[in-house]
Amino acid sequence: MADDDTATTAPLLTSHKQQGKPTIDDTIENYIGTTGVMQLFKAVLLAFAWAFDAQQVFISVFTDAEPQWHCTGTSPASCSLAAPPSSPCGLPSGSWAWDRPADTTVVSEWALKCAGPALVSLPASSFFAGCLAGGFLLTTLADSLLGRRKMLLTSLVSMSVAGVLTAFAPNVWAYAALRFVSGFGRSMVGTCTLVLSTELVGKRWRDTVSVAGFFFFTVGFLSLPALGYTFREASWRNMYLWTSVPSLCYSVLLYFLAQESPRWLLVRGRKQDAMDTLQQIASLNGNSITSSFSMLHACTMHADNDMDNKAGGVFATMRTMWERPWALRRLAAIMTASFGVGMVYYGMPLNVGSLGTNLYMSVTYNAMAELPSAILSLAFIGKVNRRSTVMVLTATAGAFSLMCVAIPEGSPARMAAELLSFFATITAFNLILIYSIELFPTSVRNSAVGMVRQALVLGGVAAPVLVALGRERSFWSFGVFGLCIGCSGLFAACLPETKGRSMSDTMEEEEQKQKQEATAIVAACTGGGGGGATDIATKDNSDAV
């Protein structure tokens, strides 16, 4: 029995298609049966990787923070008069001191406060640059050679080991280099987790498992203020050890429990591995596969026709999209929208120090904003249009971010505007990731989602520099954030709506689906018009986004 009532929920297109060769989606659910508790548990366990991902993304909010200082010595009055209130630069070494031990942050330990915004922002920018480089170099491996499971494990282990080594960095240059390595490894954690967890469950549970990852990201984000407050008088190196060692242990656990996506195995033509995986999943659901795999063989052969990239190397999946104008336009549009969302999503938490409020409470508020966003995503993901919702959310985030420029520092209204902007950005971030899964077929899905995440990270690369500049003039942080997310979100208008559509497995299947949908639209508009209208719709749709 299928996991969902396909006959009543699937589009007419799917029902028509089942008269020919079976789809991979229907084949998998036919064999494994209804998604059971253990299968769902494994998928949720996979989603927990987002917690460690969040810790590495936002850990620099505390480790790279600028601590407070005070005047010392015999003439504190002259010290106060001799320096700007916010900076001890230019004062004699014995006339001032940090409020806390010097090793609480990298800024105080390595005397970076007066080194300029470029050096202060170097470690955080290096991390996002590593995410960007890793995304471009590793994203196709999960669709080609390694698969989702091996790529996820490789990314987790490399991120965790780099985090442990970061705790022993002797200077800012080694620290920045290790942050780059950590970002390089981290680049595929979220992508592989999101794709693999959704491909391991039935259609009914895909949205739930996707949103579970966002919940765990919130858990990881919320753990940082707790850790930061715990180690507020201790070395910043403790933060890296207490986040990286558990992540390494989790990787070992995942090695024994995680399974490869049967959908990916079928698309790659690895029939025997797919059969073994399906048997394992069926047993988790309390079922056993006793029938033949004739249905599986039929859909696998159909999928193999699309995978001529077996001999094309690891970048063949990208070439598959580049050769199709509709896929390239989809990718360009959603990546452009993602750039602005990423700039605000990664930049706002780094910029909370400019609000003039308590750092620990500000970060906690920002982290807690992720929770209602995840709840709303779970409640309404099956009901809202993707395209229009992304546009509304990005416009809202931009408006509230621009309001922060006009509101005085330290005002509760400024904190409220920042939180509302961040909340809208988080929701747009979550929706864009789900949207990108629905826009591209299985054969290129991991590569496409990886590219979308790299666009998000590219915005994060610029964010630390803007945050450093914004400490002197808030327009360079809040103002630029608002303009970027508001303008880039308009590109979502170029994307097709995917609400309620079944996911495709091959590029040819997606193209056929576009043609049939265009034919249905023309027929509805013309009252079941003739073949000439159908031919025109088919031709026009081949160039549609």
**Among residues 286, 304, 326, which one ends one of the domains?**
286
pTM of the model: 0.68
Both 138 and 252 in a single domain?
yes
Please tell me whether residues 355 and 216 are part of one structural domain. Answer: no
Q: Are residues 324 and 242 in the same domain?
A: no
Strand pairing category for 69-71 and 96-98: antiparallel
- CB atoms near residue 162 (< 10 Å): 24
257 and 393 inside one domain: no
Is 234 a domain residue? Answer: yes
> Whole domain around residue 354: which residue ranges?
313-515
Q: What is the CATH number of the domain that holds 367?
A: 1.20.1250.20
Asked if residue 251 and residue 366 are part of one domain, the reply reads: no
Q: Within this chain, do residues 392 and 491 fall inside the same structural domain, yes or no?
A: yes
- Specify if 385 maps to a domain: yes
Of 483, 460, 480, 426, nearest to 343 by C-alpha is 460
| pLDDT value at residue 249 | 95
Task: Reduce the DSSP state of residue 447 to 3 states and report it.
Answer: helix
Q: Indicate whether 1 belongs to any domain.
A: no
- Identify whether residues 344 and 202 lie together within a single domain: no
Residue 241: strand, helix, or coil: helix
User: From CA 27, how far away is CA 43, in angstroms rounded?
Assistant: 19
Query: Does 341 map to a domain?
Result: yes
pLDDT of amino acid 77: 55
371 domain-assigned: yes
Count of domains forming the chain: 2
Do 326 and 252 lie in a common domain? no
> What pLDDT is stored for residue 244 in this prediction?
95
3-state secondary structure of 69: strand
Residues 110 and 176 in one domain: yes
Are both 278 and 400 inside the same structural domain?
no
251, 346: one domain: no
Tens place of pLDDT per residue across the chain (545 aa): 334 443 333 333 333 444 455 566 666 666 665 667 788 888 889 999 999 998 998 898 888 887 777 777 655 555 655 445 556 777 776 777 788 888 888 988 888 877 777 788 888 889 988 988 887 778 777 767 788 888 899 999 999 999 999 999 999 999 999 999 999 998 888 888 888 888 788 777 777 787 788 889 888 988 988 898 899 888 999 999 999 999 999 999 999 888 888 877 877 777 778 777 777 777 766 665 555 555 555 554 444 444 444 434 446 667 778 888 888 899 999 999 999 998 888 888 777 655 555 667 777 777 777 778 777 777 777 788 889 999 999 999 999 999 988 887 777 888 888 889 988 998 998 889 889 888 888 778 877 887 888 888 888 777 877 877 777 677 888 889 999 999 999 999 999 888 877 777 778 888 887 787 777 777 777 765 444 444 444 444 444 44
- Whether residues 320 and 372 fall in one domain: yes
What pLDDT does 161 receive? Answer: 96
Does residue 219 belong to any structural domain of this protein? Answer: yes
Last residue of a domain, one of 245, 270, 286: 286
Q: What is the 3-state secondary structure (H, E, C) of 294-357?
A: HHHHHHHHHHHCCCHHHHCCCCHHHHHHHCCHHHHHHHHHHHHHHHHHHHHHHHHHHCHHHHCC
Which residue is listed with tokens 């049967």? 262
**Residue 465 within a domain:** yes
Q: Which of 286, 301, 322 is at the close of a domain?
A: 286
- Please name the residues in contact with 422: beta carbons below 8 A apart, sequence gap of 6 or more: 344, 345, 348, 349, 366, 369, 397
In the chain, the amino acid numbered 61 is V
